[in-house]
Chain A
């Protein structure tokens, strides 16, 4: 049994933008977590919630270093064919799915969206995680959401 694996996979998938890289990142993150096990036990004495946050932080750092490693190859948007069954990557009604829209954002924007919406962190916690002032978190999230909203079209309509 691996705690928090689904959450780790979801975060890695949004940050790496494809399933293959996400799986590699998750595996590496759990091995890192094992290596820093004393840290894990430290986190565990707080609560399940905090051990989750601790593990997702490792996932995020692993994504970041994986990204650094691949920086030399030009950053391209890799649409995973299972993720985007339509080869054009566009819905019949010409609107992008939420994941396609998120994949179009720069890494820093995607990161704050993931921290907020998938990890459920407060602005203060996000500020600590990305080492930026709360004001930056607030404006980055606002910009990211506005871009998502514009490219997706009416998501409210499609999710209800």
Chain B
């Protein structure tokens, strides 16, 4: 295949949408211009998202839309107008979605458990992303060879750190977190625009299959493999977490 042909594939590759990756990856290893182009394609997306974050909707627009909606509802003056308004609260929306999901997918194995680990993991995930105190990374890098050594000396075990960019889960970084009073590795993966926290710590027990649950609109998945306990949590759907779990297990087989 020619250099031009590989150039045409770079965009789909950057999106994790290229099926035949092997030849392109071989080419990338030896072609600086294609590698640079790939980096630039990714930077274009990053800077667009950065711009979007840097400019949230103006307060005046929010007020204006709220007033317009209020006016429309008052004009309607029907019973549904009264019960609609609270439905717009994201909290209510997320809670409703969580309940429906829990009921809807419970039959397929995605039930709901109540235990303290699950609560701690979810708290940690929400804390890592939400508000002014958000703290997602101690080490921010997409390079597994930067992230993995960073953990040494900070944990009493060596976590599995692999970048799954080709599989559609780019490694974004990691941090040390605390679950059940012990230090654990928290790795952050991207899934399209979403973030996934994966917690890992050693467990004495045997391998256990993935078990999922939904809490407050978040998907959670936990399993153990090769002596490690894993918890993954995100706002992506359960199938994405299952896919990430398969990727993680494949490296410690």
Contacts and interface: CB of A to CB of B under 8 A. Distances in A.
A51 B43 contact: no
The A interface is mostly helix, strand or loop, or mixed, namely helix
B52 A10 contact: yes
Contacts, number: 151
A109 interface: no
Interface stretch (B23-31, B57-65, B107-115, B148-156): B57-65
Interface residues of B, number: 56
A63 interface: no
A129 interface: no
A48 interface: yes
Contacts of A149: 37, 40-41, 44
Interface string A36-49: 01001100111111
Interface string A1-14: 11101111110011
Given A2-B88, A10-B55, A116-B15, A45 B100 contact: yes
Nearest to B76: A34
Given A3-B88, A23-B61, A118 B48 contact: yes
A26 B61 contact: yes
B108 to A, nearest CB: 15
Contact of A49 (B39, B45, B51, B236): B236
A123 interface: yes
A30 B88 CA distance: 11
A2 B66 contact: yes
Contact of B52 (A31, A118, A142): A118
A155 B17 contact: no
A2 B62 contact: yes
A142 B10 CA distance: 8
B78 to A, nearest CB: 12
18 contacts: A1-B88, A2-B66, A5-B62, A5-B65, A31-B68, A37-B87, A41-B87, A44-B97, A47-B237, A118-B49, A123-B15, A138-B12, A145-B14, A149-B41, A155-B44, A155-B47, A159-B47, A159-B50
Interface of B: 8, 10-12, 14-15, 17, 36-37, 39-52, 55-58, 61-62, 64-66, 68-69, 72-73, 80, 84, 87-90, 93-94, 96-97, 100-101, 104, 192-194, 217, 235-237
Given A31-B69, A48-B217, 13 more contacts: A9-B57, A37-B80, A40-B87, A48-B90, A98-B44, A118-B193, A121-B192, A141-B11, A141-B15, A142-B10, A145-B14, A148-B44, A158-B47
